[in-house]
Structure 1
Amino acid sequence: MTNIDRATSYSSTSDSDTEDISESLRAIRSNGTTHPLINKKPSNISTSIQLISSDNDSLINEDDEEDESENPFIDSEVADYYENLYETSQYECRHLFDPNFNWSKRQDQVIVHKLDKVIALFACLMFTGLQLDRGNLPQAISDNMLEDLGLTTNDYNRGNTIFLICFLTGEIPSSILSKWIGADRFIPFQMITWSIVAACQCFLQGKYSFFLARALTAFLESGLIAELVLFLSTYYKAKELPIRLSWLWVTSTMVQVTGAVLALGILKLRGFLGWEGWRWLFLIEGSITLFIGIGATYMLIPSPIELVDRGWFSEHEVKIIINRVLRDDPTKGDTNNRSGVTFKQLVKVFLDYDLWPIYSIGLIAFVPTGAMTNYIPIIYRGQGLTTFQTNLLLIPHYILHITFLIQITKLSERLNQRALVAILAPIYLIPLLIFFKTHRDTLTTTGIWLVSTLISGGPYIHAICVSWVSRNSGSIKTRSVSAAVYNLIVQAGGIISANIYRDDDKPLYHRGNNHILIIGTALLPLLLSIKWYYTWRNNSRKKIWNSMSPEEQYQYIHNSPDEGNKRLDFRFDS
């Protein structure tokens, strides 16, 4: 067919209408949503336009039924395609999929609020168990654990390195097992087993038992973060997910605050039954996680449909949950919650060069704050502070961390910007790192506390990056793996931060302070280059796309073998 023939076949469509259709279809793709109606054309322009999912909440009044422009299944052919896809994939909630189902915006808000109180809250509780057991080592160190076990600073570094390597090693296998077995079964198993190992650290006798305990705890804990990301994405829309993810890390920081306060009391048990305080710390906090893990066997459910059986939601409410998520991203129903990740999908995620820019952020972004956080107890004890004073002085940087985390995540979603908001982190940190490096010799104890608190409590962009990876993956089938890969890279960065401060560099750690300054400074040009890269990729695709005729665009959308973020009509978040 010539260009003239194509123009004739579309003679009933105005240029502006055609442009609207193309732009709208690209909008669908940019949100990771697909509508592949093989070898079919829309019957008319209005039908094509109805395929589009609008993000404009102003179209819906508080008490009106949901506006149909938010429903990509209005077109019967689209609905039939996905209904068949959900049946083929044995999507566990497929019987509640209803293209014609409507609900009010007010009902939608009530549902989200209830999800926050049940699903998000329990996800935070599970994160509590994770952070309680992996984050209590600084409190143990403040109680002279190193001296009691005859360990050096380098042994402490090795223990942290072993922990991070094992956490990193287990990340992908854990995510694959969880997807295959089901998160509702695998996560409780994880929590129960690692809590037992964590509690048994009360029996440590030397560096080798310390290394072994760190290795086992890390390997059993690995994968939980990626599993919780996928778990939450089952219940929330893409734009609702980042702030819920930020709640996880807010929880993590709150646990550190609570853990520091709790440690003040537990560590006073030193001498009770002949045990040091840090032994009681491991035993008590490991036991708390054990109870959370046992509770997870009841609270974690295979799919949203189980919410009815638990009595937490009515069937009508569950139907809203399922359909609102599918209309936001229809691909969320193209897999079963017991389906595994194939080797081919795993390799595809590792080789996806368009995600490596975000992975590179995870490698270096948290090294400066992580290194400082790891060594605050050692620095404070080196200043002659007591165990009580050290743990009390840890609290302010946790509070600062929570404040920054919530506000920077909200700002990112409000501005719909990732890189330009994340760049606030190095802009904030670089002057502080320069000051700490150049004035470390002359700072008083109060000055050291103030600057180290400001550094370790700095802007935390982890929630932004996790949601960024999810959005730029372009496929629900690969999001769990890409989240695991990102977290794996973050753990690799953690290995770097765990070895910044060395025994031969104490007590002032000039070399270590120089290293975190260099790494913190490197984040600034990295984020700028990533912003440029995704903008360039989008503009290049837009140029090619706009050079295609309307019919070529339509044929590409419905017939191209390109998938996910490799499609010409997919647009990256930047």
Structure 2
Amino acid sequence: MADEKQHIGNLSESPASRSDDEDHEITWTEDEEKALVRRLDMLIMPLLILGFFALQLDRGNIGNALTDNFFQDVGITQFQFNTGQQLLSAGIVLLEIPSNVILYRIGPAVWIGAQIVAWGLVATFQAFQKGLGPYLTTRLLLGICEAGFIPAGLFTMTRWYKRDETSKRFSCYFVGNMSAAASSGLVAYGILHMRGIAGLAGWQWLFLIEGLFTVLVGGLFVALFPRSASNPVSLLGVRYFSERESQILQQRVLRDDPTKIQARQNVSWAEVKATFTNWRLIPHMLISILALSPAQTMASYAPSLAVSFGYDRLKANAMISIGAWILIITNVSWGIIADKTRLRGLMVFLGLLFLWGLTLGNRLLVESTNGKLRFGVLTTAIAFQAVFHAVNGSWLALNARTAGERSITMALFIMGANISGIIWSQIFQADDAPLYKRGWTVITVLVSASVLMSVIAVVQYWLLNRLQRRVGKDRYHY
């Protein structure tokens, strides 16, 4: 295993990254650093998590809308619904890398905040869609506006935190996604009862209320998020750290990992080429594509599946949140353990192995008439559906060699996750309902393949490290 105290380069190689020649000489106590990190956690993490919360609400609330006659009111079929979900994922995939290139240049305060406001407006006005054309258009626009938010948040965290701090922060970041998934059913249960008020359907109120909430979150992000560690000032002019504290925040990260030096405002073509030709990324990408497809299928169709188990359609939205709340605990635990043990590959493998066992259980129970048992297995599967994902992302970030390469790598990582969205939206088909025998078989095969990819990822780094030791070069994290 790679020694995380080892430096990959020398700070003196990039003098442009320092504000003055004395920056690298600054000293501080361990208590002083811990106090700064606690303040940092209270400043940037809540805003990033809140943004992710809003994103998942707007991306996933359509699953709750399905239980409120969405197909009939809008006038689309299940196949057309799946096509719209594919367009959402396609819009995200197409602009993921350009979005992170822009982020690299202008910073998170402006770019991420603007994204949140943009997709919030789309999410709000989709309440008035009617017909196939408007439905497909709003899903595509929502994907385009959301493109880049997740990798932007991941990359931003790598600029503020050290290597052995990232897995748990990545996992906490995904708590925004998971808490939205957990609470969306409960929120939907209440809002969908508003059907008929002002002549609107319950699903229309769902889109309106949650979309406007997102616009508010975007405004808060633009106003409050600090520009950078070197300039910890919000767009409103609020300075969060003194000059000395700012230097400590910068230097503690760069001394831990000099690859995070950002000497330019632009990602170089050499860094783009190095990322796209990095064959080591392949198993990581395949893990995201193969394993998140089943996870997203379960999350989106969970309310409908619960209805098929014999539960009331509105009550099903609330009940399905049980697994999502448990997922928050399992996800954060996975990140903490990964940072403590520094065995990211093992934690990814274990997370996928648990998911495999639970998806197999769902497949074996498709013909069971025991609705409570089926609900219990589905809920447990949801509780472990994505514990591997954040750790896989931090594993990738740790093995990037420059700041620019890390930015593009995070974009590719989330592109893989959204390519999985193109797949999951076609796994459950109308002619396979309500048991979805074929769908659950496909899910089990996909997760099985992802387990194999996690083994390949660990083995590749283990073999590479054996070669690297012979020539005295830097070693990879696994």
Report the TM range for the smaller structure's normalisation: over 0.9
* Ranges in structure 1 where 5+ consecutive residues have no aligned partner: 1-25, 36-77, 546-568
Secondary structure (helix, strand or coil) at the match of 1:473 reads: coil
**Deviations 1:347-398 (CA, angstroms, capped at 9, x unpaired):** 3211111222222211212222222112112222334533321111121111
Separation in 1, partners of 2:261, 2:348: 32
* 2:461 paired residue number: 534
Range with bigger deviation, 374-383 or 104-113: 374-383
* 2:359 paired residue number: 433
Range with bigger deviation, 283-292 or 180-189: 180-189
Match of 2:337 among 411, 420, 431: 411
Q: Which structure's residues are more often helix, by fraction?
A: 2
Q: Is the 2:74–2:132 Cα contact (8 Å) retained in structure 1? A: yes
Counterparts of 1:486-525 in structure 2, within 5 Å, are 486-525=413-452
* 2:248 paired residue number: 320
1:286 to partner: Cα distance: 0.6
Separation in 2, partners of 1:27, 1:422: 19
* 2:9 paired residue number: 34
Matched-pair identity in %: 27
Match of 1:374 among 292, 300, 323: 300
Separation in 2, partners of 1:516, 1:444: 21
For the pair 1:310 / 2:238, whether they are aligned, the reply is yes
Shift of the 379–521 alpha-carbon distance from structure 1 to 2, 3 Å rule, reads same
* 1:476 paired residue number: 403
* 1:572 paired residue number: 476
1:116 to partner: Cα distance: 0.5
Q: Is the 1:355–1:472 Cα contact (8 Å) retained in structure 2? A: no
**Deviations 1:46-65 (CA, angstroms, capped at 9, x unpaired):** xxxxxxxxxxxxxxxxxxxx
Shift of the 95–277 alpha-carbon distance from structure 1 to 2, 3 Å rule, reads farther
Match of 1:269 among 166, 172, 194: 194
1:469 to partner: Cα distance: 0.8
1:114 to partner: Cα distance: 0.5
**Deviations 1:488-521 (CA, angstroms, capped at 9, x unpaired):** 0111122212211111111111101111111112
Shift of the 331–408 alpha-carbon distance from structure 1 to 2, 3 Å rule, reads closer
1:311 to partner: Cα distance: 3.6
* 1:50 paired residue number: none
1:213 to partner: Cα distance: 0.3
1:280 to partner: Cα distance: 0.8
**Deviations 1:404-431 (CA, angstroms, capped at 9, x unpaired):** 1111222222221122222212332333
Match of 1:162 among 68, 87, 94: 87
Match of 1:359 among 279, 282, 285: 285
Q: Is the 1:253–1:398 Cα contact (8 Å) retained in structure 2? A: yes
Match of 1:86 among 3, 10, 15: 15
Separation in 2, partners of 1:122, 1:97: 32
The structure that has the greater radius of gyration is 1
Query: TM-score, with normalisation over the residues of structure 2?
Result: 0.94
Shift of the 572–260 alpha-carbon distance from structure 1 to 2, 3 Å rule, reads same
Query: TM-score, with normalisation over the residues of structure 1?
Result: 0.79
1:32 to partner: Cα distance: 5.9
Range with bigger deviation, 475-484 or 306-315: 306-315
Shift of the 486–391 alpha-carbon distance from structure 1 to 2, 3 Å rule, reads same
Range with bigger deviation, 443-452 or 214-223: 443-452
Q: Is the 1:136–1:259 Cα contact (8 Å) retained in structure 2? A: yes
Q: Is the 2:75–2:130 Cα contact (8 Å) retained in structure 1? A: no
Q: Is the 1:159–1:210 Cα contact (8 Å) retained in structure 2? A: yes
Counterparts of 1:11-90 in structure 2, within 5 Å, are 33-35=8-10, 81-82=12-13, 85-87=14-16
* Ranges in structure 2 where 5+ consecutive residues have no aligned partner: none
Separation in 1, partners of 2:6, 2:428: 43
Q: Is the 2:330–2:384 Cα contact (8 Å) retained in structure 1? A: yes
Letter aligned with residue 463 of structure 1: A
Letter aligned with residue 416 of structure 2: I
* 2:121 paired residue number: 196
Q: Aligned-pair RMSD on alpha carbons?
A: 2.1
Q: How many equivalent pairs are there?
A: 474
* 1:136 paired residue number: 61
1:97 to partner: Cα distance: 5.5
* 1:345 paired residue number: 271
**Deviations 1:168-195 (CA, angstroms, capped at 9, x unpaired):** 1111111112222332222222111111
